Each structure stands twice: as C-alpha cells, then as structure tokens.
Amino acid sequence: MSTGYVHQRTPLAQVTQAMVATAMGREPADLIIRNARLVNVNTAQVQVGVDIAVRHGLIALVGNADHIPVAESTRIVDAEGRYVLPGFIDTHDHVESSMVDIRNFAAAILPHGTTTIACDNHEITNVFGVKAVQLFHDAAEGLPLKVLVAMPVCVPSIPGFEDAGATITADDVTTAYEQGWAALQGEQMNFPGLIYGDPGVHAITRASLEAGKVLTGHYASLALDEGLNAFAAAGITGDHEGTTAEGALRRVQLGCYSQMRYGSAWLDMPNLVKAVTENLGLDTRFFALVTDDVTPATVVNQGHLDRVVREAIRQGLSPIQAVQMVTLNAAQLLERSREIGTVAPGRAADLLIVSDLVAMTIDQVYCDGVLVAENGELVIDIAPYDYPAWAVASVHLDPLTAADFAVSVDADTPVNVRAMRVVPGMVHTEEVEIEMTPVDGTLAADPANDLMKAAVFYRHAAETAADGFKPLGSRTVGFVTGLHFDPGAAFASTVSHDCHNLLVVGSDEAAMARAANAVIAMNGGMSVVVGGEVAAELPLPVGGLMALDSAAAVAKRVEAIESGLKAAGCPHDAAEMTMSLLGLIVLETLHLSNRGLVALRPGQPPEFVDLIV
C-alpha cells in the first residue's frame, strides 16, 4: 500500500555479535556522531567531547570512537560540541485530541523530539472497541516513532447511561495484550469504581496485572490519603491527574509516578513542579512530563514535549532534571529503560542534537539511528496508512431532517425545561430551569433568549448493549444556554466525549439538520452552519475523530470551524471544545447521552432526569 519511508527496527538479541564488533572496532559503524556534549541522564552530568557510534539502529559505543572503522556507507555527523539527548518519551498522550491519525501525528511530533509515545486511544476505542487497539497498532507499523498502545479500560464511561460503539471487558484487555496490540494499561478513569470495589473494574485490573503490564491511572480527586492509597494499592504506578504540588509529591511518595501534564487546555505542570523546586534534594526519578491532550494548533505552533520541557525549565527545573522526566524517568515508568530513554550502549539510537538546552532548540532528530527531522522539518516521507473501510465509515446514520430535532409536548401551555448552561472556561455545566411556551405542541430553540437545542444521535453499529438496551436509532434532544448562536446557526460533530455519538447544537432545526448531514456525508467530523448555509467543515474520517491530513492542515480547518462559530454568534474561544463535552456524563451537572438527559449532582450517583420538569 504505502510507498513512503518504512522504518526497520532490529532487536538487540539478534545482533549482539555486530554490536560488540563495532564497539571493539572490528567492524564499521552505520552512524558516528562526533564531539557531542552528552546530556547523561543516568548520572545527571553533561559530558563533553563524546562520540556516539550506532549499528543496526542501536548504540554500540558512547565515548571515543576513533578506533571504529568507517565504511563508505557510514554516516559521520559532527555535533560541533552541541548537546546530544535521548529522544523524548511521552508516557500519556491521546492522539485523537490532535485530530490527526497516528501517521500524521508522528509526522507532526517527530520534529519536536518525541520519539516514543504511550498513546491511550480511548476515544477511538469508544467507537470501535478492541478493534481500534489493533488498528492503532497496525497503523503505526513502519513508523520511526515508537508507539506503545496503552489499553483503554473505561469504555463506556458509565455503562447503562450511554452507548458507545463497543464495551471493553477484561477479556478484551487480555486479548489486546496477548496479541501484542497493547503494551500497558491506559488510564483507569473510573477511580471511584476502583476504590469502591466495582467488580468489572477489578476484573480489568487483574487482567492487566496478570499480564505483567504497567498500569496507569486517572485519579481526579484531591483526597490524597485513603483514596490515593487505595488507587495505588490496586497496582497503579503512574497518574497524570495531580493538580497541586502536594498531589504530585504525594503520588511520588506512594511510589506512583507523577505524570505532570502540560497539554493545550490543562496546564497543571507549573503548579506541580513546585513539588521539586520547593523541596531541595528531592529524588526526582518518579516525576515525568506528559502532554495528555494537545490540539493540532498547539503542536503546529508551539511543539510537543520540547514545549513541555522548555516550560518546565522556565518553571525552575534544571535542564537535566526536565530532560530526565521525558527520557530515563519515563522509560523506567514504562519498564523499558533497557531499550529507550538513555544514550547508552545497547539502547535504541533515538537521539536529539540540540543547540540550546534551555530554549530546547532541536536541530536533528534520529530514530534508531535514522535522521528523521532537521531544523523542525521532517526529512522522511511518511506514507498514509490504508485504513480498512470500516475504520473510515463509522457514522451509521441516514441523513436527518428538521423533524428529527422536534421536541413534542402535550399542550401549548408554558412548561419548565431543564437546560444545560455552559460555563466559559470550565468543563462542567450547570443545570437551569427555563420557562418555554410550546407552539403547535412542539418546543423550538429560542435564540433571542440564548436557548439552543442540543441533540445526541447514536451513530455506532452496536446492536445490543450489555444491559440489553438496543441503541440503534436512539437519540435525545434537549436545550443548552450560554452559547449565543444567532438564528439559522448550528454546529455538528462526531467528536463528543466519551461515546462520540453525533452531537448537534443549533438555533433552528433546519440548520441543525444541515450541519448534521454535512458531518454524516463526511463520515464524521465537524461542521458549522451560519445563516442556514454550511460555513466550515472539518472532515475526520478515521472513526469520526481523526483526519487523514497533516496537523497543519487540520489546525487551519479547526481555525475555520472556530471562525464559523464566532460568525454564528458564539463569543467563546474554542467553543467546539466546550460543546464536545455536552455529552460527557461523568462530569457535573447536566449532560446529554443517546439514552436521555443525565444529571450528575455533587456526591450523588448519576440519574436520568426528564426534560420537562
């Protein structure tokens, strides 16, 4: 299928003879980098005048390479005293947040020095189930980026209240490990289920532990004593949800890596690094830096882990500490420090040549000894993956009409409706009651009073849920306030956490149908209708979540969506991200699922509530 660059990787086990022959100078190297200023993450030293010899993509020697013969094919690179670092490792990254498929994602992040990711493909697994794990694994083959798929374990987020395209069970988890698709357990988001003893959550935990995998978590709570202890006592050794310095330190004290997050929207790291900068002499081996979720615009305009390291240094970490947190520490978290994360013999030659360590200016990026990026530009051609038809046709819906958005009532007397109110800059919603007067037995949106309709349509192919519910054809229509759409405006998207059903928001039913049909026609993505016409489209054919274009192209498309939303009257920045959470029923307070309106009030379990109070 693909005609681009196909990366080869050789296991050390197969070439130990060649490795020692090169190290001893009996046989030539494939690559020699001379005169480097080595950032030695093993000792936290900078060593000057170091040569690095590479054979079969693996490091054969770090020291003086004068005795190693040079063949015609040997590539010699003079580092001219610049720094050499191990390639960066992101231990927690959702590729889907960057809205491009894994191959375009690799192309985007490699120039920024990230050479390994542990990607938790939670979003697309909500669409396709365990098949998505294999899909990610297969689509990443031949990439110079090392892709370790972190098995998603919370699909759907609250069974019985919503329907994704599949359900992930302990058997799926075991299958994914046994087949080699998944390399570790992704974030256990259902931390209440874990610490309060949900059997399904513990069955999955057992499957991961018995497979010998590293387990990561999502402990989104400020309770740092029994809850966090319980979470760690179940075997979870990495967590990225610490939001305070105390939370970061406490995790590390409990032997759980603090995966300090610095994404596009969630910028916890500056708070968290105070655990290090304000505790002189702290051993920092259990701290890592991760991106979690980054938009294509962030990657294109600011970078990936290079951006995170740069900011961590600005926040007071020493450059070597910051680099350790995306190299050796990350590799030890993943239990792969014999393969990656350090510039040392026997390890993969994932190397960065850096001209400014504080500004983190990456001149060259090598994956397994192959130059893949230079001065911020990819120098290899990454061919597209030939996705199977099912992977790019995940919107199982016929075109909609205005009637699909109708809300009928018994009589034309005024009623109180339960509406979601979005709060700019926050992820949760508020629950409000608004009096509405039906016309001809139906309730319409009321843009003059900032009351829009919002609808979720089941768009996957699953026929029966675990509880016997048949989701095909299911839908819910409700109301949302705070978006300020003008008349004739609508937004539709298949990026709708966590089930990623089709979300449609708008000020009239016809515009909503038009926006929805644009997304259906694209096999997933986003669209904005302004003045009754489609004003912007973002095709996301892979599972309705990811584009087959470059991150730069997608960033432009997202910009067009955001301009469209502004033109539609919505004053908020990145309103498409706010709306993508209207279906996320694990958040407080009122949200929509395909099964109905779900209220999650503080300290109470979720419950279905009626639209009409």
| Site residues (CB under 8 A) for a second copy, limited to 5-24 | 11-14, 16-17, 19-24
Binder among 1, 73, 283, 603 for a second copy (CB under 8 A): 283
Residue numbers 288-327 binding a second copy by CB under 8 A: 324
Site for a second copy, residues 241 to 260, rule: CB under 8 A: 249, 252-256
Structure tokens at 74: 């040997």
Q: Which of 29, 62, 173, 348 binds a second copy (CB under 8 A)?
A: 62
Task: Provide φ and ψ at 158, rounded to 5°.
Answer: -130, 95
Q: What is the largest CA-CA distance in the chain?
A: 92
For a second copy, the closer of residues 175 and 253 by Cβ is 253
Closest to a second copy by CB, 17 vs 73, is 17
Candidate list 229, 355, 361, 589; residue touching a second copy; CB under 8 A: 229
Question: In 3D, which of 240, 325, 242, 245 has the Cα closest to residue 286?
Answer: 325
Spatial contact of 381 and 5, defined as CB atoms under 8 Å apart: yes
Binding to a second copy (CB under 8 A) within 25-54 occurs at 25-26, 40-45, 47
Using CB under 8 A as the binding rule, whether residue 200 contacts a second copy is answered as: no
The nearest distance, CB 275 to a second copy, in angstroms, is 9
Residue 429: strand pairing partners: 422
Cβ burial, residue 246 (10 Å; 0-12/13-18/19+): middle
Q: How far, in Å, are 193, 231, 233, 269 from residue 227 at the CA level?
A: 11, 6, 10, 22
Degrees to nearest 5, angle at CA 264 with 377 and 166: 100
Q: Which is nearer to a second copy, 40 or 476 (CB)?
A: 40
Chain position carrying tokens 């063949």: 71
Is residue 234 within the footprint of a second copy (CB under 8 A)?
Answer: yes
Q: Which is nearer to a second copy, 114 or 174 (CB)?
A: 174
**What is the nearest approach in angstroms of a second copy to the Cβ of residue 60?**
5
Is residue 419 a contact partner of residue 481, using CB atoms and an 8 Å limit? yes
Enumerate the β-bridge partners of residue 525: 539
Check the CA dihedral 346-349-353-358 and report its sign. Answer: negative
- The answer to the question of residue 192 lying near a second copy (CB under 8 A) is no
Q: Number of residues interacting with a second copy: please give it, by CB under 8 A.
A: 74
**Closest separation in Å from C-beta 254 to a second copy:** 5
Of the candidates 104, 116, 190, 237, which one interacts with a second copy according to CB under 8 A? 237
For tokens 């990657």, what's the residue?
299
CB of 354 to a second copy, least distance (A): 19
Cβ 287 vs Cβ 326: under 8 Å: no
| Residues 299 and 109 sit within 8 Å (Cβ to Cβ) | yes
Q: Does 280 bind a second copy (CB under 8 A)?
A: no
Find residue 435's DSSP bridge partners: 416
Question: Cβ 249 to a second copy, closest distance in Å?
Answer: 7
Binding-site string for a second copy from residue 65 to residue 94, where x marks contact by CB under 8 A and - marks none: --x---------------------------
Closer to a second copy at the Cβ: 200 or 487?
200
Reference 352, options 119, 148, 89, 65; nearest CA is 89
CA of 366: how far to CAs of 115, 134, 307, 341, 351, in Å? Answer: 8, 27, 18, 13, 5
Which of the residues 324 through 353 are near a second copy (CB under 8 A)? 324, 332, 335, 337-338, 342, 344-347
Q: Which is nearer to a second copy, 41 or 127 (CB)?
A: 41
Candidate list 8, 64, 375, 464; residue touching a second copy; CB under 8 A: 64
Q: How far apart are CA 208 and CA 183, in angstroms?
A: 10
CB atoms within 10 A of CB 213: 20
Q: Which of these ranges, 192-200, 400-408, 454-462, 492-500, lies near a second copy under the rule CB under 8 A?
A: 192-200
Stretch that binds a second copy, among 55-63, 351-359, 375-383, 454-462 (CB under 8 A): 55-63
Binding segment for a second copy (CB under 8 A), chosen from 93-101, 166-174, 190-198, 410-418, is 190-198
Contact between residue 223 and residue 244 where contact means Cβ atoms under 8 Å apart:
no
Decide if residue 171 touches a second copy (CB under 8 A). no
Nearest-approach distance from CB 282 to a second copy, in angstroms: 5
Q: Which helix (H) or strand (E) holds 125?
A: helix 122-128
